[in-house]
Amino acid sequence: MNKYRLTQTRSQLLKLLKNTPLPVSAEDLLQKVPVNKTTIYRQLTSMVAQGLIKPVLFTDRTLRYESADRDHHHHLICTNCKKIIDISFPENIEQTAQTSASAQKFKINTHHLEFFGLCQNCQ
């Protein structure tokens, strides 16, 4: 039996994260879900532990969250307006990384790539 109840807050957070195309911070969620900061962080921690959402730590040290059912992807980040754009690579690029790591007797558990530049609006 699942020990986690689907509370109204949890339901709202899950719906927001599933319907938001980009990772969002706890602060962003606080603006949309009318509960206190402690509740947001407790719910996010719980949902990460359950595998419902994934934390994404960006180079700027901002922790954001996204739905765990999203396809594997990376991010383009505008250094001017901070816009985040999802980007996917062909599988052969991921396989090449695995092969290169294996040649060094290194096992990749996970990875996260960010590319920085200017979005179309800021160029």
- pLDDT band at residue 114 under the 50/70/90 scheme: confident
> In sequence order, which residues have a C-beta less than 8 Å from that of residue 35 and are 6 or more positions away?
9
- Over residues 8-60, the pLDDT tens digits come to 889 999 999 999 888 999 999 999 998 999 999 999 999 999 999 999 888 77
* Assigned token pair, 42: 């407790």
The per-residue b/e assignment along 35-67, b for 16 or more CB within 10 angstroms, e otherwise, is: beeeebeebbeebeeeebbbebebeeeeebbbb
- pLDDT band at residue 4 under the 50/70/90 scheme: low
| 111 annotated among ligand-binding-site residues | yes
- Over residues 59-102, the pLDDT tens digits come to 778 899 999 888 888 899 999 998 989 898 887 888 898 999 99
Query: Measured between alpha carbons, how far is residue 18 from residues 45, 52, 57, 73 in Å?
Result: 17, 10, 18, 15
| 122 annotated among ligand-binding-site residues | yes
**Cβ(108)–Cβ(96) below 8 Å:** no
Amino acid at 25: S
Q: Which domains are assigned to the chain?
A: 8-67 (1.10.10.10), 74-117 (3.30.1490.190)
| 119 annotated among ligand-binding-site residues | yes
